[in-house]
A and B are shown apart, each in its own frame.
Chain A
């Protein structure tokens, strides 16, 4: 189900709010859990079993690690000082064993649903190449919705317990609600237990204030999707399905349109998730922070799909780059290469692991792996050349903090990110390279061709106004101003008037009906 379905926004959410408010405070978390599980079962049917298995596995693992910790503390009281180290190490090994079992259990499901066919297809190709007369049968499996999201969330829960960042929750229903909370389970954000759990269990009443406040955010998401993303989808479909019919400029516009569409669709979905959370008083972390204002590709990934980036940073980048062998490598490299390039050696090994996994997380395909490696390369190059760029700027008396230079950085970064997304959207690597070639080989400013893509002048005008509106909101947010906070200071009548005006704008300018094809939830498929 798409969150942008009117039934979801205008019937399901108000229905959930009414049911939720009917129950006393201490039962409301249970109501949210029941609704969340029913919602998941409605979308993914019997595949809910895999979500339940994940919940049980992380709950049992958390409790087991916590019991081992208690036993360790008891054991430490009775042993001599010199034995303490070996007792600690022995319990750490046991905890690690339980943790690894849980990780394998959960990753196996993910592998089975998402990657088995990819590996089978490539294994068959290899066997054909080496003339081995054996083939692996390819069977298509429908994956439980949001498996990539809730699996990472589940792993973060047990890893945080293992690292001692959080205590294991003794109530399985609470763990279940953390993992299955209905707005979050489809497309994230990949929240940490320490971020959302407490507010999820509080059972705060949905008030007129919180309903209005949350609905403003939901409508902002709707505006991004219906006014902008669904219009851009027309351009994207035309260009990607028949790129050979268009000149390089139009192909570039198609690629740029895809990136902006992806942003509007995904961040719009997250607006809805956060908005629903706000109604129930649940703190859902932000997943975007004006990504196109980033100064380089590395900065972009701290502003785009923030929760995924943080997951990889905390559970892959630092554990890999700060492992014993990598620390030794950093130490040696620092002596030879200095403070900047020394740590870059181990850092790039960890970055490679992060971006390979990031690419694979998005999908089972070589173009996704290439997408990951492309970003690894861009970030690495950025780090290698940064000191030289700084020196050149100093010699040329260019202030890198000045607005003009920052705009130049953002434009350059946006171009590189557009190219990365071309590999992401194209059906295969071959098509992606062919599109890239076409973009440069046949580039000419034939603006008129844009009107052959399926959008008329009115559509372009609405699209441009919408984009300018989002851009201005971006500048305002970048300056640290919270528009909704400002609105919330107004009188109740004004607030409701703004809400209705927003609905009206979406109804009038939304791209629905004949000639429009709504964008499918892109990230839900990951």
Chain B
């Protein structure tokens, strides 16, 4: 989780990733930042995020992203 927050902070600073739970709906992360984020997550956690998983519900908070990562790791 710490590594994920580090990635997020590098891509988009000035956001409190511990508390914000509308990263996509609140437009903290735009489409291009999400592209960078996906690429970073895939490299760092050795998972492949399918297009179907790219929905706001999975990216609205660091916790939700972490849930997605662990689920994809388990499915692998």
User: A interface vs B, CB < 8 Å?
Assistant: 163-165, 298-299, 302, 313, 317-319, 321-322, 327, 330-331, 334, 339-340, 342-344, 346-347, 383
- Excluding A321-B35, A339-B10, A339-B11, 17 further A-B contacts by CB distance (< 8 Å) are A163-B52, A164-B52, A165-B55, A298-B30, A313-B31, A317-B31, A318-B51, A319-B51, A322-B49, A322-B51, A330-B35, A331-B43, A340-B36, A342-B39, A346-B35, A347-B32, A383-B32
A-B contacts, 12 of them at CB < 8 A, read A163-B51, A164-B52, A165-B52, A165-B55, A302-B27, A318-B51, A318-B54, A331-B39, A331-B43, A339-B36, A340-B36, A347-B32
A165 CB contacts on chain B under 8 angstroms: 52, 55
- The residue in B30, B39, B43 that gathers the most chain A C-beta atoms within 10 A of its C-beta is B39
Kindly state the separation between the CA atoms of A21 and B45 in the bound complex, as whole angstroms: 55
Cβ < 8 Å to A, chain B residues 1-52:
10-11, 27, 30-32, 35-36, 38-40, 42-43, 49, 51-52
Kindly state the separation between the CA atoms of A298 and B32 in the bound complex, as whole angstroms: 11
Kindly state the separation between the CA atoms of A299 and B35 in the bound complex, as whole angstroms: 17
A331 CB contacts on chain B under 8 angstroms: 39, 43
Q: Is the interface of B mostly helix, strand, loop or mixed?
A: helix
User: B interface vs A, CB < 8 Å?
Assistant: 10-11, 27, 30-32, 35-36, 38-40, 42-43, 49, 51-52, 54-55
Minimum Cβ distance to chain A for residue B56 (Å): 10
Minimum Cβ distance to chain A for residue B27 (Å): 7
B43 CB contacts on chain A under 8 angstroms: 331
- 4 tightest CB-CB pairs across the interface, nearest first? A343-B35, A163-B52, A343-B36, A347-B32
B39 CB contact (under 8 Å) in A163, A298, A317, A327? A327
A343 CB contact (under 8 Å) in B10, B39, B54? B39
Closest-by-CB residue of A relative to B36 is A343
B54 CB contact (under 8 Å) in A302, A322, A339, A383? A322
Minimum Cβ distance to chain B for residue A214 (Å): 25
B35 CB contacts on chain A under 8 angstroms: 321-322, 330, 343, 346-347
B51 CB contacts on chain A under 8 angstroms: 163, 318-319, 322
- The residue in A339, A343, A347 that gathers the most chain B C-beta atoms within 10 A of its C-beta is A343
Kindly state the separation between the CA atoms of A163 and B32 in the bound complex, as whole angstroms: 22
A302 CB contacts on chain B under 8 angstroms: 27
Kindly state the separation between the CA atoms of A321 and B27 in the bound complex, as whole angstroms: 19
Minimum Cβ distance to chain A for residue B65 (Å): 16
Minimum Cβ distance to chain A for residue B44 (Å): 12
Closest-by-CB residue of B relative to A354 is B31
Minimum Cβ distance to chain A for residue B13 (Å): 10
Kindly state the separation between the CA atoms of A313 and B10 in the bound complex, as whole angstroms: 24
Minimum Cβ distance to chain A for residue B73 (Å): 18
A164 CB contacts on chain B under 8 angstroms: 52
* CB pair B10 A347 closer than 8 Å: no
A346 CB contacts on chain B under 8 angstroms: 35
A334 CB contacts on chain B under 8 angstroms: 36, 39
Closest-by-CB residue of B relative to A309 is B31
Minimum Cβ distance to chain B for residue A165 (Å): 6
- The residue in A163, A298, A331, A339 that gathers the most chain B C-beta atoms within 10 A of its C-beta is A339
Closest-by-CB residue of A relative to B49 is A322
Minimum Cβ distance to chain B for residue A377 (Å): 15
* CB pair B30 A322 closer than 8 Å: no
Minimum Cβ distance to chain A for residue B4 (Å): 15
- The residue in B10, B27, B32, B39 that gathers the most chain A C-beta atoms within 10 A of its C-beta is B32
Kindly state the separation between the CA atoms of A165 and B57 in the bound complex, as whole angstroms: 13
A299 CB contacts on chain B under 8 angstroms: 27
* CB pair B40 A339 closer than 8 Å: yes
A347 CB contacts on chain B under 8 angstroms: 31-32, 35
Kindly state the separation between the CA atoms of A383 and B49 in the bound complex, as whole angstroms: 24
A327 CB contacts on chain B under 8 angstroms: 39, 42
Minimum Cβ distance to chain A for residue B71 (Å): 14
Minimum Cβ distance to chain A for residue B67 (Å): 18
A339 CB contacts on chain B under 8 angstroms: 10-11, 36, 40
Closest-by-CB residue of A relative to B34 is A318
Kindly state the separation between the CA atoms of A383 and B38 in the bound complex, as whole angstroms: 18
Kindly state the separation between the CA atoms of A319 and B38 in the bound complex, as whole angstroms: 13
Kindly state the separation between the CA atoms of A339 and B38 in the bound complex, as whole angstroms: 11
Kindly state the separation between the CA atoms of A318 and B43 in the bound complex, as whole angstroms: 18
- The residue in B11, B35, B40, B54 that gathers the most chain A C-beta atoms within 10 A of its C-beta is B35
* CB pair A344 B10 closer than 8 Å: no
Minimum Cβ distance to chain B for residue A53 (Å): 28
Kindly state the separation between the CA atoms of A327 and B40 in the bound complex, as whole angstroms: 11
Kindly state the separation between the CA atoms of A164 and B31 in the bound complex, as whole angstroms: 22
Kindly state the separation between the CA atoms of A334 and B38 in the bound complex, as whole angstroms: 12
Minimum Cβ distance to chain A for residue B70 (Å): 20
Kindly state the separation between the CA atoms of A163 and B52 in the bound complex, as whole angstroms: 6
Kindly state the separation between the CA atoms of A327 and B43 in the bound complex, as whole angstroms: 11
Kindly state the separation between the CA atoms of A318 and B36 in the bound complex, as whole angstroms: 12
